Amino acid sequence: MAVQKIIEYNSLDSNGQISSDKYNFKLNILEDSGNYLIHRDILRHQISQKQGTVSTKTRSEVRGGGKKPWQQKGTGRARAGSSRSPLWKGGGVIFGPKPKTTSLKLNKKERNLALQTLFYNKRNNISVIGELESLITEPKTKVFCDIFKNYNLELNQKILLVVSKKTTPLKLSTQNLKNVELISASNLNTLSLLKAKQILLTPLAVNDIKEIYCD
């Protein structure tokens, strides 16, 4: 059964100080079967990431092999119809993998419920920071790292940065930092939330999350 919980955060300014701006989330969470639903949504996300392009050739697809290697009878050897038989070197593959698309269906309400439940479980690791999009106007990783030092964040742990829209300077500033994952609020998923040790939200991202995922 879903239970409604409210969490509230104070925003941090560019100097890492607590500002007067407050943001709250009204979340519907599952107390009993929440972990099961989160697991299902993570599984769905991982399956959707598969390319499904792996392929092998069967005996009919391998080039050559049209000529019968030797006559059917009279040679004393085992009969053979093609040099591309799976028994031969250079032959086809029996029951090899073929391209396919796999998906795991999960209702939209279930996905949102899983995301809200995990979001609530991670509530102590979430911070709302100032307008990061306006602070970073040029693609420089050093500037980004200096801003993060003001928030007393260590870049040796997994950090999820959720913004309303990925700007080019922000994208280029974070692409060399292996522990920082930049994601837009519309693409937020349970796998990214689960992996992150610290979750940072911008004010615009907070509004997007409330609009998209919270009823």
In Å, how far are 39, 41, 103, 118, 210 from 46, measured between CA atoms?
Answer: 11, 9, 9, 17, 24
Q: What is the largest CA-CA distance in the chain?
A: 95
> 30 has which bridge partners?
2
**Does position 180 have pLDDT exceeding 80, yes or no?**
yes
Q: How far apart are CA 68 and CA 169, in angstroms?
A: 64
Q: How far apart are CA 41 and CA 105, in angstroms?
A: 9
Confidence of residue 99 (pLDDT cuts 50, 70, 90): very high
Q: How is residue 73 written in tokens?
A: 């009878």
**pTM (two decimals):** 0.79
Q: How is residue 20 written in tokens?
A: 């007067």
Q: How far is C-alpha 105 from the geometric centre of its chain's CA atoms?
A: 17
In Å, how far are 44, 161, 184 from 171, measured between CA atoms?
Answer: 26, 11, 11
160 closest CA partner among 192, 186, 185: 192
**Does position 32 have pLDDT exceeding 80, yes or no?**
no
161 closest CA partner among 206, 208, 198, 119: 198
- Predicted confidence at residue 194, as pLDDT, reads 92
Q: What is the arithmetic mean of pLDDT over 159-175?
A: 89
Does domain 2-50+107-212 correspond to CATH entry 3.40.1370.10? yes
Confidence of residue 13 (pLDDT cuts 50, 70, 90): confident
The mean pLDDT value of the chain amounts to 88
Residue-wise pLDDT for 45-71, tens only, equals 999 988 989 999 999 999 999 999 999
- Predicted confidence at residue 22, as pLDDT, reads 84
% of the chain beyond a pLDDT of 90: 41
Q: For 13-17, 25-29, 73-77, 191-195, which range has the lowest pLDDT when averaged over its residues? A: 13-17
Q: How far apart are CA 202 and CA 200, in angstroms?
A: 7
- Predicted confidence at residue 7, as pLDDT, reads 85
**Does position 78 have pLDDT exceeding 90, yes or no?**
yes
Residue-wise pLDDT for 109-165, tens only, equals 999 999 999 988 988 888 888 777 777 888 888 888 888 887 777 778 899 999 988
Range(s) of the chain covered by CATH 3.40.1370.10: 2-50+107-212
- Predicted confidence at residue 215, as pLDDT, reads 65
- Predicted confidence at residue 97, as pLDDT, reads 94
